[in-house]
A and B are shown apart, each in its own frame.
Chain A
Amino acid sequence: MWYRVRAVKGTAQQKFLKSSTVEAVAAFGFLAPNFIGFLLFTSLPVFASLALSFVSWDLFSPPRFVGFENFVRLLQDSLFWKYCWNTIYLMLAIPISMAGSLALAVALNQKLKGIVFFRTIYFLPTICSGVAIYMLWRLLYNADFGLFNLTITKIGEIFHLPLKGPNWLTDEAWAKPALIIMNVWGTVGGYNMILYLAALQGVPQDLYEAAAIDGANSWQKFWNVTWPQISPTTFFIATMSIIGGFQSGFDPAFIMTGGGPNGSTTTIIYYIFNNAFQWHHMGYAAAIAWILFLIIFLFTLVKWKVFGRAVYYY
């Protein structure tokens, strides 16, 4: 009888082998459309851009290998450092906007009527963001008849003061604050507010009841219950915003200021765009892009080392 058992075993094994092969073939069928595109437009370009960062190429004459020259030049490029500073300066919008989002979410969480109405209004800039909104804000910031300066002049008239608004977008000192104000307006009621609202609704009610029994007032309840409980959300939003912040700033600057005045609103990504697509310094642009990647990578690494466990997870 033993040979029979073996035979049965054999077919079972064959069957098993066959079915796992079928599964693998099916799997590659499912994967192929995405994987080929992913290789072509994401995965291989990552390596290609690393290779590009070691050449000098203007797209027309043949590329020339230059070793680390692009990176050395980059470190000595005072414009690059200036644009790094601009990028970081503009990220001031992140904490301001987050505080605003949280305040709005707390107010919306008071079980009021008309939440959907408010939520819709606050979400409008997120929906409409883009070129149309930047054009609108270019008008609002107009020195002579923009909403901001008309309001400032009007307030001056009421209090008999000679108030005059700044030349928002054409004054080097005001261009960055102007973009920050616009950014806060645009993001304060968007994704972050909705994430905060969801987080607030997830805080267990009995914690508040326990705090109330201990005689905590609203302020104490917020700092000792709400704030630690929603800290994972705060952490998530801050991380995503900062990673996004390093890569942002092209669209508004391109539409509103053209990167000026005097480069004061040019960010890293704008500099990459200019190098690659205006001046055709492909290798140099790739080098800047890799430095940007490195900055983001280091930020993520430091974040995990320093803050990895400093949040309250429930």
Chain B
Amino acid sequence: MKHEATIEEIKRQVRIRSDAKKLLAYSFLATGAVAMAAPFFWMITTSLKEPGAIFSYQRAWWEDWIPLQFVWQNYVAAWKAVPFARFYMNSLFVSLCVTAGQVVTSALAAYAFARLEFPGRDKIFFGYLATMMVPGAVTMIPVFILLRSLGWIDTYKGVILPGVFTAYGTFLLRQFFLTLPKDLEDAAKIDGCSYFGIFWRIVLPLSKPALATLTTFTFMGSWLNFMWPLIVLNTHEKFTLPVGLSYFQSLHHTDWSYLMAGSLMMILPILVVFIFTQRYFVEGIKLTGIKG
């Protein structure tokens, strides 16, 4: 009887300790979440304030966080100040082209590296690997000169093509293809299936997770890419969203309400996409980070 009581007592203590631990974890996470969210909240508030209201000093502290009236007009004004719709379409076009080109050509090349025998295969693959260590800054200058001599400066293909052919995408997919069981492919080969048939009907359907990862990362990278379009593009109408936003800032350097409205308009679509695809992000990050 006494024994049982002691066990109960120990169990209770363990429970209390684990509850305390959880409480600690929750309060830590909640503090972190507030710190993460506060700048975004500030962004939304500022975007809804009367332009110039942030300069006024006669106001209660909470007016910094919740404006007295919501000035939706800021969004309309920002939208009209620069061709935002055009920037959106440009960014979407560029990112889709880069992503499609990257995934298709990488998958084809990765299949050759992973499954086919041909002279010089390992040497070429080593060449791919070796360039992965070279910083982008090294190739940036010659590629710019190449585009200039082709007359591709200030064109979409000048923005798109250098982003398509990366060693990284080929490497990622090759590593994944190597993990696929070979039996299915052998069976298809015996049945007289062509190499492309094997690639198209067996390898690709089995590689959806890796393809989804490469697609998401490439699209994100291209959507957020700032430096390369900044270097290549000159005409305002051709700007992608990041470059366009930077141009917008140069026009309205201190019109904070407009700037924040514009920034939010850039963030919102990607936020919506993320909420629906965050599973792929998490899986993809785990997939790419496994090797130590």
Residues of A at the B interface (CB closer than 8 Å) are 20, 23-24, 26-28, 30-31, 33-35, 37-38, 40-46, 48-49, 52, 59, 103-104, 107-108, 110, 112, 116, 118-125, 127-133, 135-137, 139-140, 144-145, 147, 150, 154, 185, 188-189, 191, 194-195, 198, 218, 232-233, 235-237, 246-247, 250-251, 254-255, 268-269, 272-273, 276-277, 282, 285-286, 288-290, 292-293, 296-297, 300, 311, 313
Contact = CB atoms under 8 A, between A and B. Distances in A.
Contact of A118 (B33, B106, B220, B270): B33
B105 A112 contact: no
Given A24-B117, A30-B195, A255 B246 contact: yes
A35 B109 contact: yes
A199 to B, nearest CB: 9
Given A40-B165, A124-B40, A145-B54, 12 more contacts: A30-B199, A37-B164, A42-B167, A122-B36, A124-B271, A129-B224, A130-B226, A136-B39, A145-B55, A147-B64, A293-B134, A313-B292
18 contacts: A23-B118, A38-B131, A38-B166, A41-B161, A43-B127, A48-B142, A124-B40, A127-B220, A130-B242, A135-B249, A136-B39, A136-B40, A185-B35, A236-B289, A247-B136, A255-B246, A272-B137, A293-B135
B245 A135 contact: yes
Q: How large is the interface on B (under 10, 10 to 19, 20 to 34, 35 or more residues)?
A: 35 or more
B139 A127 contact: no
- Which 3 A-B pairs have CB atoms at the shortest separation, nearest pair first? A37-B165, A232-B292, A34-B109
Nearest to A311: B292
Interface in B34-79: 35-40, 42-43, 46, 54-55, 61, 64
A242 to B, nearest CB: 13
B83 interface: no
Interface in B160-185: 161-162, 164-167, 170
Interface in B98-137: 104-106, 108-109, 111-113, 116-119, 121, 124, 127-128, 131, 133-137
Contacts of A269: 137
Contact of B32 (A104, A123, A285): A104
Contact of B231 (A30, A107, A277): A277
Contact of A147 (B42, B117, B148): B42
Given A118-B29, A125-B36, A289-B137, A194 B131 contact: no
A128 B270 contact: yes
Interface string B259-292: 1101110110011001100100110011001011
Contact of A27 (B46, B106, B117): B117
A49 B141 contact: yes
Interface of B: 21-22, 25-26, 28-29, 32-33, 35-40, 42-43, 46, 54-55, 61, 64, 104-106, 108-109, 111-113, 116-119, 121, 124, 127-128, 131, 133-146, 148, 161-162, 164-167, 170, 194-196, 199, 220, 224, 226-227, 230-231, 241-243, 245-246, 249, 256, 259-260, 262-264, 266-267, 270-271, 274-275, 278, 281-282, 285-286, 289, 291-292
A132 B65 CA distance: 19
User: Which residue, of A34, A107, A121, A154, has the highest number of chain B Cβ atoms within 10 A?
Assistant: A34
A312 to B, nearest CB: 10
